Chain A
Amino acid sequence: MSKDIISRVFSYIVIIFSIMVFPWWITLVLSIVAIIYFSQYYEIIPLLFIMDIIYAVPTVKFHGMVLISFGTAFILVLIKEKLKKQILLPL
């Protein structure tokens, strides 16, 4: 197994642990760091989807939306990949 895969799996386990134990903002910070650090870190999307499944209920705070973490992860990954392409491979 390559070093990259090991570190990806390790980060995944850390984020799962964070979802179960730590405050949500720590999970958010860890997720952002992982998205920035790893290339094409799409696995964060189902992970935060699971977070929504565990905790989310329709509340006034989010206008009844229940996929806030999932949506945030999705947008962050897309932005990062788009930016990466524009910064590293400018046309």
Chain B
Amino acid sequence: MNYHRSNIRRERRIGLYILAIAIALLLLYQNKIVIGFFGGVTTGVTPLLEGGKNIREGVGEGLLSVLSFKASLVAENEGLRNKLVGFQTKLLENDRLVKENAELKLLLGRKEKEKLLLANVMAKPDQSPYDTIILDVGNNYDVEVGDKVLVSGSTIIGEIKEVGAKASKAVLLTSYGEESGGTVFGKNISLKLVGRGGGNFIAELPRGVSIERGEQIISDGIFPHTLGIVDSIFSDARSPFQGILVKSPVNVQTLRFVEIIL
């Protein structure tokens, strides 16, 4: 009986030694064992892993792109809303300033005598090589040669050149070679605008004169109107002048109605 018990204890001890050695070996060679197992497993697992990765990336990218597209749209929408609010505020301020300006001029004895006449555009400038627009009002509405043609009551686009009984012809100020005087708004720099066609003017100023893109060019006089916006400035090292390309803010090809200053 004692013999049997001692055998059992010995076996248990040997078992413990083997377990301890196994744990020690496991601890000592864990990296190699893991790598060994991994090396065996990868052969079968790699395609699955790659597939999984592709699916994950595909779904992730798709999901991300959808989310980011939506996010960008939301951001754009938000930005545009903010801009709109800004513009509405500016428009209100603009209306107020225009009224205030007219009132101040009236107080100082300058009453606006402009009488505007609405006219329908019957022929657009691309219909002839002359860059003319035909309007449906003539002598019947007291239109005269030299009357200015406006858009939205603020931008001058042309001048009446011929008047018929019930129609009149106006030449665009941006028509090639047409000359008109203007002033840089806020700086009071006078310049001569020469039409270049396609809704563009060109002007020249000495290189030392500071002018920036986006500045407004207005007509001369106490009740000025917009002629164009400075689109680009270019200069040549050999020339003492800088060229200024001024763009009319109005697309004449899409016009249906204009106003004539009588």
Interface positions of A (Cβ within 8 A of B): 19-24, 51, 54-62, 66, 68-69
Contacts and interface: CB of A to CB of B under 8 A. Distances in A.
B169 interface: yes
Given A23-B127, A24-B128, A55 B169 contact: yes
Contacts of B162: 57
A66 B233 CA distance: 34
Most-contacted residue by chain A among B126, B129, B162, B177 (CB, 10 A): B129
B241 interface: no
A57 B168 CA distance: 11
B130 A61 contact: yes
A61 B132 CA distance: 12
A67 to B, nearest CB: 11
28 contacts: A19-B127, A24-B128, A24-B129, A51-B128, A54-B123, A55-B123, A55-B127, A55-B128, A55-B132, A56-B130, A57-B130, A57-B169, A59-B131, A59-B175, A59-B176, A59-B177, A59-B178, A60-B177, A60-B178, A60-B179, A61-B131, A61-B175, A61-B176, A61-B177, A61-B197, A62-B129, A68-B130, A69-B129
Interface residues of B, number: 19
Contacts of B131: 59, 61
A73 to B, nearest CB: 13
B161 interface: yes
Interface in B148-182: 161-162, 169, 171, 175-179
A21 B124 CA distance: 9
Given A54-B123, A54-B134, A55-B123, A60 B128 contact: no
A57 B171 contact: yes
A22 B130 CA distance: 14
Contacts of B197: 61
A68 B171 CA distance: 16
A59 B127 CA distance: 16
B132 A57 contact: yes
Contacts of A22: 127
